[in-house]
Chain A
Amino acid sequence: MPKDPNIKKVLVLGSGPIVIGQAAEFDYAGTQACRALKEEGVEVVLVNSNPATIMTDKDIADHVYIEPLNVDSVTQIIQMERPDSVLPTLGGQTGLNLAMALHENGTLEKYGVRLLGTSPQSIHKAEDRQGFKDCMESIGQPCVTSDVVESVDDAVAFAEKISYPVIVRPAYTLGGTGGGIAYDEPSLREIADRGIHLSRVGQVLIERCIAGWKEIEFEVMRDSAGNVIQICSMENLDPVGVHTGDSIVVAPTQTLANREYQMLRSAALDIITALGIEGGCNCQFALNPDSYEYAVIEVNPRVSRSSALASKATGYPIAKVAAKIALGYTLDEIPNAVTGKTTACFEPTLDYCVLKIPRLPFDKFTTASRTLGTQMKATGEVMAIANSFEGALMKAIRSLELNVRALRLPKLDEYYTDEIEDLLVNVDDERLFVVAEAIRRGVSPRKINSITRMDIWFLNRFKNIIDMEQALIMCKGEPDADALRRAKEMCFADSYIGWLCGMEQKDVKALRERYGIVPSFKMVDTCAAEFDAETPYYYSSYDGENEADTGDSGRKKVLVLGSGPIRIGQGIEFDYCSVHSVWALKRLGYETIIVNNNPETVSTDFDVADKLYFEPLTAEDVQNIVEQEKPWGAVVQFGGQTAIKLAKALTDMGVPILGTSSDGVDAAEDRERFDEILNQCHIPRAKGQTVFTTEEALKAANEIGYPVLVRPSYVLGGQGMEIAYNDRNITDFMRIINLTVQEHPILVDKYLMGREVEVDGVFDGEDLLIPGIMEHVERAGVHSGDSISVYPSIHVEDKHKKTIERYTYDLAKALGVVGLINIQFIIYDDQVYVIEVNPRSSRTIPYISKVTGVPIIDLATKVMLGQKLRDLGYGTGIYREADYFAVKMPVFSFEKLADVDTGLGPEMKSTGEVLGIAESFPQALLKAFKGANMRAPKKGGRIILTVKDEDKGESIGIARGFADLGVEILATEGTCRTLEKAGVPCTQVARVSERHPNIMDMIASGTIDLVINTPTRGRKQNTDGFRIRRAAVEHSVGCVTAIDTARALLTARQQGRSRDLQALDITKI
């Protein structure tokens, strides 16, 4: 069936802000789908609240709305744009739920909008727990047996029926609180009793325990003609029990014989057929490792994180094909872009091994529980491709950027073997390394399997790596050619081989080159070389034949380094920058080569750059590519810290860095050099000193005067940064900072609690363009990434703007910036101070590009190549301010991360952001709060205030404001006293440690709309404040932890009018 001619204008729903569980993969999917739709001549209307995405670019869709993803705002957009159809399956669960809500409330029908692809009935069948179970039963597909019970006796009776062990899951508790595995009746009685009491509705789910079974996934597709294909099979190294997003995953499956493989493949095809899905679908199975028994765990009737991985693992563009299927095409009518000859109706076959490792945020959240379970915690992931499992694993570990270069965690060296064995029971992010260490200590794979249930095959592969390490250690000096070749075939880094053999990295390289052991590059072609393909998608191996295209395109080659896995502090915005730079370079006639290892991103789509190398972003791995491609220049300023830290290595390889030199980067990061530059430019900065010991820190703090900011130098996203108000704080922070060995000094700076302002600028060596000045709502002290940011600035006086422009110009000039510069300022006591300078792209680039209409990356790229701003049409100096306001608001994922303090401070904690854009500041603020799903209490609502002493004064105005709106104010003793004294009506609530009902009970009761709690500084976990904030998160009660945020919420409530919110097409800017 060809394309349905009635489809002319399609609404595409995005997935909103990046949160744990819903990340960049949907930008990739959405972008690919939009391009596929436009390719078919369809007019695309896009809605996504996330400004950091590529999909929200005017190059991608015809009409772009960066608006809250809720029924009201999307209804308004439908009224304005009158699309004939909506594509619901590319925006994750958010997009799917929204589309279903619009269908169910009749909006779609009212405006004659049809749902493309999968029908609402099918979506409902897949999403509804009972409906799905019934459907599976009707086609003979086994689900995990379970039942909801309300009494202990019923629980026992059901457990007898399905046999022990059973899992007890209390209904409506976060992260399965109070549940557990019962192995026999007495333990079930205990757990079920507790669970029934903890559950808000007095119910627990009793489920057959399949922990330890293999977790297998299949990505499948179906078209309207009923053709069904499988795209990719995946096997989790971590057995059932760990969320697939937190599992190490290998593709294709490794330990399934054909019979089990086909059994599950057929099951997946039967499921997608029975559900009637038209598009992509992900099926997760649990497979008993000792029999053919299996169970369907979950089905996602849409593109997903796994489908992004499957796309990158196979080269099959799932989102693109899903979009074309939605338009009416059948699989055999869609060409296979990889071969150009065959069609999309085939099953990719791999001739390599793919491994994904999740990137978990425990390096940032050091106090968080590292335990992995059914609640996903990873913020991102890396993928590696090699022709062996060992090689893929070694590459993936290097790609994580966790200072680990092999299957070895140095801290485990200190444990005794029996302690290592004890650690094996912990299911956490370090288990991979614990398992490896156990093997290194001689614990047998069989024994490890009995504890971890990881398949012996994987354990044997780990052992292979450990054996290789041993062989290299035994070489004592130069390894022979055979050992070296085997080590390189397992993708051991030269530096690691050197460490094992006691050689310098460069000597290892020289030695293997003498032996002729050099990398070659293989192509990812979807068909295992059965057909001729020209996909410029490569991975390295140490096999003979090199397939990388060495032909001269006649164009200069530019290497663009990507930003690796998504983590807190380095998110999707850097992929936006990398991709835009690639596009700019292509438009300018350069041949572009991208290196990245993140399967969720647009940059790793093989048709973005001229060539894609899916490789770790380490100096050695990049050098291999440099030697292959011999680029004319390299671009590092768009790939975040990951790329920028390779600047020096690239320079040493003789690759010219386009734009700011690596020396300029160093000058901005080196405290002494930077101070020197500030002095030269006569730019004031907060007084500060560098220290190493606690004594020095105390001395410095007292000299500078409290409060002071304490932080390690050379860190990302304010990691480990704290504000100290007294000697006790200093002693406390220094102890924590020094828990890890500090190679660089610790900085103690005067803390200026002023207004924080941020600019991104483009500098060409002579002229500067500042697209916009952004002002932070929260005062200095809250990390810029966690602050609400507004453009244009509201409170910055013209004279300060002039100063900011001059400082930016002077710093850019002094640092030798060519391209982008990001500077954070503080305006304190009528003076402008510089806090931080980054001579690279920043997280605000996508947002400020979109709201100002200045194509910043395009300009920066041109400038790096020698063009001058004054010729580029956007002028110089500060760009004219827009006549509307744009508020960028951070979004957090605290409910996914137990034991993380939600209080904001100098260390970044947000995972994503939304934008609110409107004609006035309060309206933009209101929109952004809506987008972030933060609801301000209305008349009749209730707020609890409990603030630290420094904030008590300011809390009065906020409390009064809410009280005037008819909101009931509750407060703990101290705050209450302050408010009452000021004449604000207020009810006192008992503190955490006091009588019941206390503040915790109130939060749990569901009658509170907002908690305003400003944390006392420090890192203690057991303070009342910490428990209050966590309780708010766990009971889905809004919680604001900075007094300025609370004021912003009040402003939005007082001055914002929901009814008057107007959606804005940013392409019209």
Chain B
Amino acid sequence: MKATLILANGAVFRGDAIGAMGDRVCEMVFNTSMTGYQEILTDPSYAGQGVVMSYPLMGNYGVNGEDNESQRPWAEALVVRHLSPVGSNFRCEGSLGDYLRQHDIVGIQGVDTRALTKLLRSQGTMNGMITCAEHFHIREVLDKLAAYRVSGTVERVTRGEKEVFPALGEQRLRVALMDYGVKQNMIECLRKRGCEVTVYPAHTPAAEILSGGFDGVMLSNGPGDPADNVDIIREVRALYQSDLPLFAVCLGHQLLALATGAKTHKMTFGHRGGNHPVKDLAAGRCFITSQNHGYVVDAGSVDPAVAQVSHINVNDNTVEGLKYKRKNCFTVQFHPEASPGPEDTEYLFDRFIASMGGEKNA
């Protein structure tokens, strides 16, 4: 069946329908990772978004039960050049196409994804609609696209109840992890370092966390515009004002920046992929990181009395990490938990463990 992708600027891409049938409006973003489509689809940070994979061959190794970053895929749609009808890998349990259908994700293949990527790069992330309808009124579609905004996503993706994950091996620390759309591997990175991890719904009051007897708090990644989360930011401020060791990633990093007076803004097309170089300014070293963000902290808005920029993106010099003056508090924009992407910065979890008084590498 044919499918069409219509973008907010009026651009139309035709291809073949994959996944679920139907219309879907979402914000279209591109990702340059060559592996990890299943992790990307199940990363809650993509809630409300449709993902364009710039690498043309997707579904090669199928899908499996191990590579989910959450209970279900959160991306709304998937745009690919070629979809492998069957996957080949020792862990493969099914095809990507079937997986999309089962989880009601619409998709399109046969699209010139490079042209689409260039369009999103030059004109910026924009809304789009995938439809299987043969006839549509472009005007109506464009109106729909103009009206769409990614919002309320943290509320959608966060857990309803707190959940406790035991440490792997000997338990040495207890960590509270705020779920704004947490990826499973973030939990695993803590567990394998001897942390019992209690994952809390996004809107849990700070008081409850602070009275939980934890050794440290971690703020997770998540979707959407950070500034939308007014209530959460208030609680984050309370957590910041405690003396618990604090580590935050991606949305968590942005929320803490907002909670301490800095500003964020939306980037033209964001950073999504597994090849972004980040420089640790203190160490003078560069690391290749996994990234997925459309918003960024304004370097100029960071109060030097509160924090200093600790990491920058080598490509565009944007803020990639903040080191707070407050004791034991640091945050990064990129994803040290990787999954998908390079695992070169997983050592930051060791740093967090150390800040909680634990030892490196359980």
Contact between A460 and B315 (Cβ–Cβ < 8 Å)? no
List, in ascending order, chain A residues with CB within 8 A of B342's CB: 230, 262, 265-266, 347
* A352-B56, A388-B82, A528-B114 known; A257-B341 Cβ under 8 A: no
* A289-B90, A457-B84 known; A342-B54 Cβ under 8 A: no
Q: Which residues of B49-69 are within 8 A (CB) of A?
A: 54-57, 60-61, 64, 66-67
Identify B54's interface contact among A260, A330, A349, CB under 8 A.
Answer: A349
- Quote the shortest CB–CB distance from B338 to chain A (angstroms): 7
List, in ascending order, chain B residues with CB within 8 A of A259's CB: 66-67
List, in ascending order, chain A residues with CB within 8 A of B242's CB: none
* CB of A545 closer than 8 Å to a CB of B: yes
B-contacting 9-mer, from A221-229, A565-573, A726-734, A828-836: A221-229
Contact between A345 and B277 (Cβ–Cβ < 8 Å)? yes
CA distance A347 to B288 in the complex (A): 7
CA distance A291 to B340 in the complex (A): 19
List, in ascending order, chain B residues with CB within 8 A of A347's CB: 274-275, 277, 288, 342
Q: Output the nearest chain A residue to B113 by Cβ-Cβ distance.
A: A351
* CB of A1036 closer than 8 Å to a CB of B: no
Contact between A258 and B339 (Cβ–Cβ < 8 Å)? yes
- Quote the shortest CB–CB distance from B199 to chain A (angstroms): 22
- Quote the shortest CB–CB distance from A415 to chain B (angstroms): 28
Contact between B88 and A543 (Cβ–Cβ < 8 Å)? no
C-beta contact mask, A517-532 vs B, less than 8 Å → 1, else 0?
Answer: 0000010000111111
CA distance A387 to B113 in the complex (A): 10
Q: Which residues of A476-528 are within 8 A (CB) of B?
A: 522, 527-528
Q: Output the nearest chain B residue to A254 by Cβ-Cβ distance.
A: B60
Contact between A257 and B32 (Cβ–Cβ < 8 Å)? no
CA distance A530 to B288 in the complex (A): 16
CA distance A350 to B36 in the complex (A): 14
CA distance A666 to B33 in the complex (A): 51
C-beta contact mask, B306-340 vs A, less than 8 Å → 1, else 0?
Answer: 00000000110000000000000000000000111
Contact between B32 and A527 (Cβ–Cβ < 8 Å)? yes
Contact between B274 and A346 (Cβ–Cβ < 8 Å)? no
* A528-B32, A528-B54, A530-B121 known; A257-B91 Cβ under 8 A: yes
C-beta contact mask, A662-705 vs B, less than 8 Å → 1, else 0?
Answer: 00000000000000000000000000000000000000000000
- Quote the shortest CB–CB distance from A954 to chain B (angstroms): 63
CA distance A989 to B126 in the complex (A): 86
Identify B114's interface contact among A258, A262, A269, A522, CB under 8 A.
Answer: A522
- Quote the shortest CB–CB distance from B28 to chain A (angstroms): 14
Contact between B285 and A543 (Cβ–Cβ < 8 Å)? no
* A332-B279, A456-B88 known; A350-B286 Cβ under 8 A: no
CA distance A258 to B38 in the complex (A): 9
Identify B315's interface contact among A266, A342, A348, A456, CB under 8 A.
Answer: A342
List, in ascending order, chain A residues with CB within 8 A of B279's CB: 332
Contact between A353 and B57 (Cβ–Cβ < 8 Å)? yes
* A262-B340, A543-B112, A543-B115 known; A349-B55 Cβ under 8 A: yes
List, in ascending order, chain B residues with CB within 8 A of A349's CB: 32-34, 54-55, 273-275
* CB of B276 closer than 8 Å to a CB of A: yes
* CB of B343 closer than 8 Å to a CB of A: yes
CA distance A528 to B339 in the complex (A): 20
Q: Output the nearest chain A residue to B55 by Cβ-Cβ distance.
A: A351
List, in ascending order, chain A residues with CB within 8 A of B274's CB: 347, 349
* CB of A252 closer than 8 Å to a CB of B: yes
- Quote the shortest CB–CB distance from A310 to chain B (angstroms): 14
Contact between A531 and B115 (Cβ–Cβ < 8 Å)? no
Identify A530's interface contact among B38, B64, B117, B284, CB under 8 A.
Answer: B117
Q: Which residues of A350-390 are within 8 A (CB) of B?
A: 350-353, 387-389
* CB of B215 closer than 8 Å to a CB of A: no
Contact between A531 and B32 (Cβ–Cβ < 8 Å)? no
Contact between B121 and A529 (Cβ–Cβ < 8 Å)? yes
Contact between B89 and A342 (Cβ–Cβ < 8 Å)? no
* CB of B127 closer than 8 Å to a CB of A: no
CA distance A730 to B70 in the complex (A): 77
**Number of residues of chain A lying within 8 A (CB) of chain B:** 55
* A345-B277, A349-B274 known; A257-B89 Cβ under 8 A: yes
* CB of A544 closer than 8 Å to a CB of B: yes
C-beta contact mask, B258-271 vs A, less than 8 Å → 1, else 0?
Answer: 00000000000000
CA distance A425 to B265 in the complex (A): 60
List, in ascending order, chain A residues with CB within 8 A of B91's CB: 257
List, in ascending order, chain A residues with CB within 8 A of B85's CB: 460
* A225-B284, A346-B277, A350-B55 known; A258-B36 Cβ under 8 A: yes
Q: Which residues of A519-571 are within 8 A (CB) of B?
A: 522, 527-532, 543-545
* CB of A343 closer than 8 Å to a CB of B: yes
- Quote the shortest CB–CB distance from B33 to chain A (angstroms): 7
* CB of B344 closer than 8 Å to a CB of A: yes
Contact between A256 and B117 (Cβ–Cβ < 8 Å)? no
CA distance A289 to B344 in the complex (A): 25
- Quote the shortest CB–CB distance from A272 to chain B (angstroms): 12
CA distance A352 to B34 in the complex (A): 10
List, in ascending order, chain A residues with CB within 8 A of B285's CB: 225-227
* CB of A455 closer than 8 Å to a CB of B: yes
Contact between A258 and B35 (Cβ–Cβ < 8 Å)? yes
List, in ascending order, chain A residues with CB within 8 A of B288's CB: 229-230, 346-347
List, in ascending order, chain B residues with CB within 8 A of A331's CB: 286
Contact between B35 and A261 (Cβ–Cβ < 8 Å)? yes
* CB of A1060 closer than 8 Å to a CB of B: no
C-beta contact mask, B276-301 vs A, less than 8 Å → 1, else 0?
Answer: 11010000111110000000000000
List, in ascending order, chain B residues with CB within 8 A of A531's CB: 121, 315
* CB of A652 closer than 8 Å to a CB of B: no
* CB of B179 closer than 8 Å to a CB of A: no
* CB of A414 closer than 8 Å to a CB of B: no
- Quote the shortest CB–CB distance from B187 to chain A (angstroms): 16
* CB of B101 closer than 8 Å to a CB of A: no
Contact between A529 and B54 (Cβ–Cβ < 8 Å)? yes
Contact between A351 and B56 (Cβ–Cβ < 8 Å)? yes
Q: Which residues of B82-136 are within 8 A (CB) of A?
A: 82, 84-91, 112-115, 117-118, 121-122
Contact between A227 and B286 (Cβ–Cβ < 8 Å)? yes
* CB of A418 closer than 8 Å to a CB of B: no
* CB of A255 closer than 8 Å to a CB of B: yes
Q: Which residues of A209-249 are within 8 A (CB) of B?
A: 225-230
* CB of A871 closer than 8 Å to a CB of B: no
Contact between B343 and A262 (Cβ–Cβ < 8 Å)? yes
Identify B57's interface contact among A260, A343, A388, A544, CB under 8 A.
Answer: A388
List, in ascending order, chain B residues with CB within 8 A of A457's CB: 60-61, 84, 87-88
CA distance A920 to B321 in the complex (A): 69
Q: Which B residues contact A (CB, under 8 angstroms)?
A: 30, 32-36, 38-39, 54-57, 60-61, 64, 66-67, 81-82, 84-91, 112-115, 117-118, 121-122, 273-277, 279, 284-288, 314-315, 338-344
Smallest CB-CB A-B distances: 8 pairs: A258-B36, A545-B115, A457-B88, A347-B275, A258-B340, A528-B54, A543-B112, A258-B35
Q: A257-B35, A532-B122 are in contact. List 18 more A-B contacts (CB 8 A).
A: A230-B288, A252-B55, A256-B89, A257-B89, A258-B33, A258-B340, A259-B67, A265-B342, A345-B277, A346-B275, A346-B288, A347-B275, A348-B275, A351-B113, A353-B56, A353-B57, A529-B54, A543-B114
